[in-house]
């Protein structure tokens, strides 16, 4: 039986890396959770352990009409390919879920009078000319480059979200999420941390693009989820950066992974992809002051927690291959 005061959250892309952790977070707080996913990049394995709780999965393409019966208090829109490997393979789908999918999710939020949170990205800043990146920076994006399908989809999604806020008075939030890592990232995700971890654990060369001097800032998943939950319940309607302000070069990240894993792998270099950002570091002053939030998990500690998950899944994959 459902309590009248039980909160109900709907997470689009809820079977993905970020979405699955959000689903679990809200269930742990006694909420009812509905996950919408078409499993193009997410997987039912990420939420299998939630099946006996107050949890429902709807297998659906978000660009179609959405209907959920009953009250929905919160809608968190996380449906989208998120790694360069994914959105380069699925460019049209990425644009559609950022535009049509966002429109459908906002329409559901308006029909249910739900609080709406958009998962935007630091990629809206493009290859930034301002460093670190603040929310009032408009970005330096190549709209017709290979990464433009993701960057512009998210920029459009932000514009659509603010239009619903201004026109319909919808209670909306926008999280600009910087690089995040942790358990449940796909082994073949293609982004730096899962790629380096998998390579290190398997004794392969760690492939660094360019000279590795480009910088990134890596936030552990539990820190990000806490920031998202605070933003969801806040009175912030303009975009808010969520990420770890500790800036590392990609080469430093690779060297730290070799240290944490104890791997004897070497580092090799590949050509830098087109429009790859040279720097990436969030200014989280707004999150600190308005949400009273900042990351707590250090990079090495987060890597150790992630490594355990990767080791377990790699072992399972090897065992499965041996049986077949």
Catalytic-labelled residue, pool 87, 125, 137, 150: 150
Q: What is the pLDDT of residues 288-298, one digit of tens each?
A: 999 999 999 99
Q: What is the pLDDT of residues 276-288, one digit of tens each?
A: 889 999 999 999 9
Distance from the Cα of residue 259 to its chain's centroid: 26
Note whether residue 133 is domain-resident.
Answer: yes
Comparing 91-105, 135-149, 285-299, 306-320, the range with the smallest average pLDDT is 306-320
- Return all residues near 131 (Cβ < 8 A) that are at least 6 apart: 279, 281
How many whole angstroms separate alpha carbon 210 and alpha carbon 271?
5
Provide the pLDDT for residue 272.
87
How many whole angstroms separate alpha carbon 219 and alpha carbon 204?
25
How many whole angstroms separate alpha carbon 183 and alpha carbon 161?
30
pLDDT at 167 over 70: yes
Model pTM score: 0.95
Note whether residue 306 is domain-resident.
Answer: no
Note whether residue 247 is domain-resident.
Answer: no
Neighbours of 134 (CB within 10 A): 15
Mean pLDDT for the stretch of residues 170-187: 97
Note whether residue 144 is domain-resident.
Answer: yes
Note whether residue 218 is domain-resident.
Answer: no
- CATH of residue 127: 3.40.50.720
Note whether residue 197 is domain-resident.
Answer: no
Mean pLDDT for the stretch of residues 255-270: 96
pLDDT at 37 over 60: yes
Asked if residues 46 and 78 have their Cβ atoms less than 8 Å apart, the reply is no
Note whether residue 134 is domain-resident.
Answer: yes
Note whether residue 160 is domain-resident.
Answer: yes
Nearest to 251 by CA among 202, 203, 215: 215
Query: How many domains are there within the chain?
Result: 1
Catalytic site includes residue 150: yes
Q: Which domain holds residue 123?
A: 8-177
- Return all residues near 298 (Cβ < 8 A) that are at least 6 apart: none
How many whole angstroms separate alpha carbon 307 and alpha carbon 310?
5
């Amino acid at each position: 039986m459902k309590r009248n005061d039980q909160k109900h959250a709907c997470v689009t892309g809820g079977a993905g890396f970020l979405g699955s952790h959000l689903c679990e977070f809200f269930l742990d707080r006694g909420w009812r959770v509905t996950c919408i996913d078409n499993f193009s990049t997410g997987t039912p394995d990420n939420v299998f352990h939630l099946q006996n709780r107050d949890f429902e999965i709807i297998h659906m393409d978000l660009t179609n009409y959405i209907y959920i019966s009953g009250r929905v208090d919160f809608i968190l829109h996380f449906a989208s390919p998120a790694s360069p490997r994914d959105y380069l393979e699925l460019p049209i789908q990425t644009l559609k879920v950022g535009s049509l999918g966002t429109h459908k999710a906002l329409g559901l939020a308006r029909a249910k009078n739900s609080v709406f949170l958009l998962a935007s990205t630091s990629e809206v800043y493009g290859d930034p000319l301002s460093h670190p990146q603040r929310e009032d920076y408009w970005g330096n994006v190549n709209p017709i480059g290979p990464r433009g399908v993701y960057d512009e989809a998210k920029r459009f999604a932000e514009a659509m979200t603010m239009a619903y806020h201004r026109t319909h008075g919808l209670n909306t939030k926008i999280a600009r999420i910087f690089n995040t890592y942790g358990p449940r990232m796909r082994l073949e995700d293609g982004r730096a941390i899962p790629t380096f971890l998998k390579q290190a654990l398997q004794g392969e060369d760690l492939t660094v693009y360019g000279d590795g001097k480009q910088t990134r800032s890596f936030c552990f998943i539990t820190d990000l989820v806490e920031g998202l939950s605070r933003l969801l319940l806040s009175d912030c309607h303009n975009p808010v950066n969520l990420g770890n302000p500790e800036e590392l070069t990609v080469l430093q990240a690779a060297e730290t992974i070799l240290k944490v894993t104890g791997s004897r792998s070497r580092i090799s270099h590949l050509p830098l992809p087109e429009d790859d950002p040279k720097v990436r570091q969030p200014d989280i002053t707004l999150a600190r002051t308005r949400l009273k939030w900042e990351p707590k998990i250090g990079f090495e500690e987060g890597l150790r927690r992630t490594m355990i998950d990767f080791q377990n899944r790699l072992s399972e994959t090897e065992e499965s291959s041996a049986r077949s």
